[in-house]
Structure 1
Amino acid sequence: MNTPPTRILYQSFTDPAVHQPYLKRLEAYLTEIAAPGVTYEVRGISPADTQLGRLSELRCGVQSIEGIVEAASEGFDAVLVGHFQDACLYEARTAVDIPVIGHGEASMLQACMLGGRIGLVTLDPVYLPWHREQIARYGLDSRVVDVRAFRLTPDQAVAAYDDELAYQSIKDTFISLASTMVQESQIDVVMSAGGLFALLSADDHVEVPGALVANPTLLAVRQAEASVAIARASGTPVSRGGTFARATQQAIDELLALVKGTRS
């Protein structure tokens, strides 16, 4: 049985103009790790999610839905929302009839198959309450047991792609935070809460004694690819009976009009 080609959109929350070095490196990495017959295209959001906090998450999440609806109309087989916070993920699933995979949800669920106690390292302390709410929403309170934070902006992380000393400093901080979680929370799997450090360290072997260091982007990619196969077999990307009940076309049109209206 021949498997049909698969096109997946990676919807980033970074700016295609401002963060081009990151996006180019990301697209190359996705091409490298893609399963046979799967191609990825990376698109961003402008302005990027640089103003860390709930309001920026909401704005970017709404904009991402516009991109997801567009991807479905273009014939993509799935969308991987490459933003660990999963802003507007549930809403996006109601808007299209293709799988929409959240970077955070997918990688945390997959990480639970790698170990018993999971720890996250996020960009900034502002995200600590958000991640705790994510963990509770996904029913993972007893599995994802600790979250620590860098004090790192997205721009600083992107700049480190071309600065070995900056990367080494970020890596050292990650290892220090992860090692503390091993000692204090007995975690046995650790990963960054987002793709910036994951891509920075993709070609490096980061070791934390006592814990497996997982790459959340790789985990989310594998989940996205599996979701396409599952949707093809079941005839639907998600259950439409409750949480992800299909939105009306009017609701979708009104949201798209709102997004487009902000640009006029």
Structure 2
Amino acid sequence: MISKNKFLGSLLLAISLTGGQALASSIEPVPDQELEEVPLTDSEAQPVTVDLAFRDAEPSKEQSMEEEFLPDLPVLLDGKLYSAEELEKAGIQLPHYVLDSNAAEQNILLGFRDAASLKVYLERTGQMPSSEPQAAAALPCWFRPPAYFFDGTYYTGRYFSVRPGFGYANLGIWDNRISSIRGTRCGRWTLLTELPYFQGRRLWLGASWAVPNLSSYRMYPYFWPFRQTWNNRASSVMVFW
């Protein structure tokens, strides 16, 4: 069995070896524009625990068709870069997808087979989520915005907001409507979950990062011309300190 130190060393080495690329066009720093906080009107926010974030999920078998073809980002998994075709050929299912500073700097998507390997990465990179504010983050969050979820790409259309430590288990009329995200600048993670009640696959968005078009990120494996993306896919959300 691979040790935690060896696993993380392989992962971070692979990240460093892919260096030299610009920020991924599909992830960017959170825009400076301030927005009004808008809670959901037909659903109630609830406190969320870290255990909810680390559930392992069997990916659903549903497929959807997209008219627009978008190129794939390489997926770093177990210290190796995979193309979409290689993941499909190997029959690899990914329940956890991570977009953080490492992913943005190298223009890649981090993939994890299970919660255990994801925890190793988060612990070693100092990014473990928390359901409670950390001392250094509590005060600034009174002056900094929460996470925002939009029904249009590039932060357009209607939106709702969620403060760290809370989530919506059921998005109601917002189910399968989120097309772009401005992640929290207070806490460490903004999470989309594929199914209601925090079930299914997860997309982790690191602190102060935003995704202007969720169609940029596929869910693996896929079968052309049928493909799944995170656009209009989320049924519940969580935000952590």
- Between 1 and 2, higher relative CO (CA 8 Å, sep ≥ 6) is seen in 2
For normalisation by structure 1, the TM-score amounts to 0.25
More strand by share: 2
For normalisation by structure 2, the TM-score amounts to 0.27
Pick the structure with greater CA Rg: 1
